[in-house]
Chain A
Amino acid sequence: MTDLSRRTVLGATLGLAGAALLPGRPARAAGSMTAAVYPGGWDEALRAVLSPALKQAHGVDVAYEPLFAVDQIAKARAARGTAPFDVFVLDPGPRVSGIDLGLFEPFDPARLPNRDKLPAGYADTVGAGVAAQVVGIAYNPKKLAKPAGWRDLFKPEYASRLGLTGFGTTFGTISLIEMAKVFGGSESDVEPLFVELRKILPQVAAVAQPAAMAGLFQQGQIDVMYTNTYTVTLLKSRGVDIDFAVPETGAAAFGTTMHIAKGSKNIDAAYQYIDTMISTPVQAALSQAPYFFVPVNTGVTPGADVPVKSLDELKNFVSHDWSKINPLRARWIDRFNREMAK
């Protein structure tokens, strides 16, 4: 065999392999973009409701990248200016980090035709609010009586069935802060929480990563945990015995916002994506079973099982100042690791 024929064969093979790869890649035409989305309930909901609506209204294809809020920030930061996706979806803590790190394109609310449907202040120069999340206690009604509040979790009957998770997520952080408050702490002082945690730690059913909590609940390893209402409705729809309890000190609520990533090449599509997200049909569909999103669109009446009936009601929920929490969080995370270690 001559060199030439070997090369021809090799070239042909590589060509074929390359051609085989091509159809798998989404077309990177003007009408396509990538959006980060929280894994789990959000991922399912946006793929089922937002994607087809966006395709229909603007002909834009969206590819989702499932990432928790902190992971989105970590990934965008590691990419050093090359946007790994076009749109972020974030909780307040990571939102403040993103602003501080300069990860967002300047946002112009005037480019959202549906902006009039949002309450004042929901769209600003960094992004737009697209939903709200409510955090409280989830428990198994077949195994435990409904807990009255955060303090109950420290009673033996609840503590021995409790699943703990640290300050790594927004829901974990604000739940632990709310517990600290019950014992005399505050947004910037969680020391009283650690004192109480030390007392119950030997009995606690599990200490786990946030992503493992739902699985542990489903398997009966834990029967009470702190989480957001989305996790509760998702597990309920899968047949898990789970109910949401609003603590006596109030459930905590926070807004979920979308932002356009700095350096995005699909800015037009990104605005269309966010605008479709806040549009009346999408918000209405998302507020119904099985998603139960808290709508931000003032024209939408929430579904029966949505924990917040109107945005006015949201003002009565406990909120937090993330510009105070963020600088303290790294130390709390480290402290939690050390306190939990056997």
Chain B
Amino acid sequence: MGEGAWKLAVPLGLAQFSFFLAPLLLLAATSFATDENFSQFSVQAWLDVLGDSFHLGAVLNTLRLGALAVLATMLLAVPLALLHMVAGPGLKKIILLAAVLPLLTSVVVRTFAWIVILGREGVINTALLSTGIVSSPVALLQTEPGLILALTQIEMPLMLLPLIAALARIDPSLLDASSALGASLFRTLRKVVLPLALPGLLAGATLVFASAATAFISQSVIGGGRLAYLPALVWQQAMVVFNWPLAAAMALTLMGSVLAVAAALSALARGAQA
């Protein structure tokens, strides 16, 4: 790379500074301000977030939702990605198309579709009632399991695509070698395929976690008002209550905790690659 190569990064660097870093610093300042002109500062907003059991509960709920969405997408994506690895070209295309399809519909439409599916008179309940499996509608909408079910579909591409890419990079001769040396299919999977797919799996986990933990529309529409998650509280404090310091402190708490989990996952990924 030439001497002045860094100059190529200047336009993006400037844009990132003025449109991302500067507003972020302003947000941080807002969380300590007691008025709009930043004339006085206090740590009250932070005490209200970190010293309050309801708000701390919302932080933990949000992280837990992200973690459960990661587990659920992983559980479904791993077998599907393995199938993609061994499938013929026709089936490969179908799996990829099915994986990308959710990305092509708007999040609002997807979320509303889940109301139609999960609702009291929705597809699932109608099916369960008509087959006589249950006698009264099962509560799915506005429950954590219902929300995780919806997020699993919504976030699936973010897990599946990195995983498929990681599996595609595995040299097929490694699998042949493993079986020639007497390893069972399961042992090959456990000792060869999964360790090599780990970076893809962790990349997917990071993306799904960050996206599910901050999925404002899905959380508020499918989750409802009885499940407290940070994104909806941030919106409410900023837009309805006008308590900007509290909203800013909550937003930074959300960002900080999501970043911490993402950093931990990427550290794991580096460890896996080393």
Contact = CB atoms under 8 A, between A and B. Distances in A.
Interface residues of B, number: 28
Interface string B105-146: 000000010011001111000000000000000000110000
B108 to A, nearest CB: 11
A208 interface: yes
Contacts of A216: 115, 119
Given A166-B225, A337-B54, A206 B241 contact: no
A74 interface: yes
Contacts of A45: none
A14 interface: no
Contact of B115 (A97, A164, A165, A219): A219
A74 to B, nearest CB: 5
A333 B238 CA distance: 13
A330 B115 contact: no
B227 A342 contact: yes
Contacts of B1: none
B56 to A, nearest CB: 12
Contacts of B233: 337
Contact of B242 (A74, A80, A208, A338): A74
B221 A337 contact: no
Nearest to A80: B36
A221 B115 contact: yes
Contacts of B221: 208-209, 212, 215
A342 B115 contact: no
Interface in A174-217: 205-209, 212, 215-216
B119 A220 contact: yes
Contacts of B119: 216, 219-221
Given A338-B54, A341-B54, A330 B243 contact: yes
Contact of A215 (B57, B112, B240): B112
A207 B112 CA distance: 16
A209 B241 CA distance: 14
Q: Which of A77, A165, A216, A329 has most chain B Cβ within 10 Å?
A: A216
Given A337-B233, A338-B54, A341-B57, A207 B243 contact: no
Interface string A7-36: 000000000000000000000000000000
B225 A164 contact: yes
Nearest to A161: B120
A70 B221 CA distance: 19
Contacts of A132: none
A207 B226 CA distance: 6
Given A206-B142, A215-B115, A219-B121, A77 B242 contact: yes
Given A164-B225, A220-B119, A206 B242 contact: no
B224 interface: yes
A341 B121 contact: no
A335 B263 CA distance: 35
Contacts of B227: 341-342
A208 B121 contact: no
Given A220-B120, A338-B54, A341-B54, A212 B220 contact: yes
A168 interface: yes
Given A207-B224, A208-B142, A341-B226, A70 B240 contact: yes
B74 interface: no
A135 to B, nearest CB: 18
Contacts of B179: none
Contacts of A168: 236, 240
Contacts of A209: 220-221, 225, 232
B139 to A, nearest CB: 9
Contacts of B226: 207, 340-342
A71 interface: yes
Contacts of B122: 219
A337 B228 contact: yes
Interface string A150-184: 00000000000000111010000000000000000
A97 B241 CA distance: 11
B100 interface: no
A164 B116 CA distance: 19
Interface of A: 70-71, 73-74, 77, 80, 97, 164-166, 168, 205-209, 212, 215-216, 219-221, 329-330, 333-334, 337-338, 340-342
The 10 closest A-B pairs by CB, nearest first: A207-B225, A220-B121, A74-B239, A219-B119, A330-B241, A221-B119, A341-B228, A168-B240, A207-B226, A342-B226
25 contacts: A70-B239, A73-B242, A74-B240, A80-B36, A164-B225, A168-B240, A208-B142, A209-B232, A212-B221, A215-B112, A215-B115, A215-B221, A219-B116, A219-B120, A220-B121, A221-B120, A221-B141, A330-B243, A333-B241, A334-B241, A337-B225, A337-B228, A338-B54, A341-B54, A341-B228
Given A97-B242, A216-B115, A342-B227, 15 more contacts: A70-B240, A71-B239, A73-B242, A74-B239, A207-B226, A220-B120, A221-B120, A330-B243, A333-B236, A337-B233, A340-B225, A340-B226, A341-B54, A341-B57, A342-B226
